Amino acid sequence: MVGWLKALVYGAGGMAVVGLAALVALQERLVYVPVLPGLPRAYPIKPSRLRLIYEDVWLRAADGVRLHSWFLRHSPTCRGPTILFFQENAGNIAHRLECVRLMMQRLQCNVFMLSYRGYGESEGYPSQSGITKDAQAALDHLLQRKDIDTSRIVIFGRSLGGAVGAVLAKNNPDKVSALILENTFTSILDMAGIMLPFLRWFIGGSSAKGPKLLNCVVRSPWSTLDVVAEVKQPILFLSGLQDELVPPSHMRMLYDKAVEHNRNCRFVDFLNGMHMDTWISGGDRYWRTIELFLDQYSPEVQSSDASCTSEIADDGNEYNHLYLGIWFMMLTTNVRLACL
C-alpha cells in the first residue's frame, strides 16, 4: 500500500514537472496566436478593397526584425490626428480594417496599423520584449513623417493592444498626446488564473493573492495595471460590460489605478459591448465619446482648412460579415486566450 502511494505521489509530481516545463517552453504559443485556426496567415483583404488610401510601410525594430505595417491616410489634404492602432491578439491587421474604416470616417483621422512580429507579413516571433520594440519602431516612424501633425499622435489599443499601447505611452510621455484603452486586461498573469483556474494560486498580477510562485517564469506578463499608474498622458477607458473574455472589472481596476496619479482620465462603459464588438454595439455614442476626447486632448490646429471632409466610402456593410465572422470563430473555438 505504501509503495502504491509513493508511486502515485511520484507520478503526480512527475506530471506536474513535465506540465510546468511545457508551460515554460511553450508559453509564447499559448499567449500569442498570429494565425486563427482554419485561416491562412496572409491578409484576407487589403485597404484598397475598402477604398482606403494607404501605403505599405516596412520598419526595422531595434533588434533588426523586419516589420510590416499600413499607413492609412484620411485624405491628401487633411491633417487631423493620427491614430497608432494596436490590435487584439488573434489574427492580423486586415481583420480590423472595417473597424479602422469607420474610425477614419467618424474621427477624420489617419491610422497607422502595425503588424506585430510574427503576425501578418512581419518577420520574427512574438514576445513581450519584441512587441515592445515593434511598437517603438512604429512611433519613431510616425515622428519622422512630414505629412502628419506629429503633435497629434494618439495611441489606440484594444485588449492585448491596450497593454502594448500603455507601455509605449509610458515610455514616450512627450511624444504621444493621448492614450485610448478598450477592453484591456490588468495583466496576462491575472488572465492566466481566469482561463486556467488551477493556476490562480501560483500566477497572478500585483493585485492578486497567493504565493505567485510561477510569476518568475512568465516571459510575457503584460502588467498593464502597474504600467497605467505611470502614464502621464490623458487616458480614455472604453469598457464593454458584456465582455466574455476579459472581466469588465479589469477595466475599472485600470481606471482606478490610473486616476490615482493622473487627473486626465475618463471612463465610459457600454451596456451591450462584448470583447470585440464594442465599437459596433456602442453605436454613435462610442464614436462620439472618442471624438470628444480627441477634441479635448488632441485638438485640431485652427489653420486646418475645410478640405478635411470625409472621403472615406460609406459602403462597408458588405465587409461587416468578414469581421463578424472572424469574431464568431474566435468565440466558438477553444482559443479564448487568443482573443485577448
Name residue 33's amino acid. Answer: V
249 is catalytic: no
Given the residues 122, 127, 275, 277, the one annotated as active site:
275
Residue 260 grid cell = 490615482
Pick the catalytic residue from 69, 127, 159, 223.
159
Nearest to 231 by CA among 188, 184, 152, 174: 174
Is 68 a known active-site residue? no
Q: Dmax over Cα atoms in the chain, in whole Å? A: 87
Residue 62 has which C-alpha cell?
Answer: 531595434
Cell numbers given for 303: 489653420
Active site residue 74: no
Pick from 231, 204, 226: nearest CA to 215: 204
Spot the catalytic one: 243, 250, 277, 298. Answer: 243
Q: Which residues are catalytic?
A: 159, 243, 275
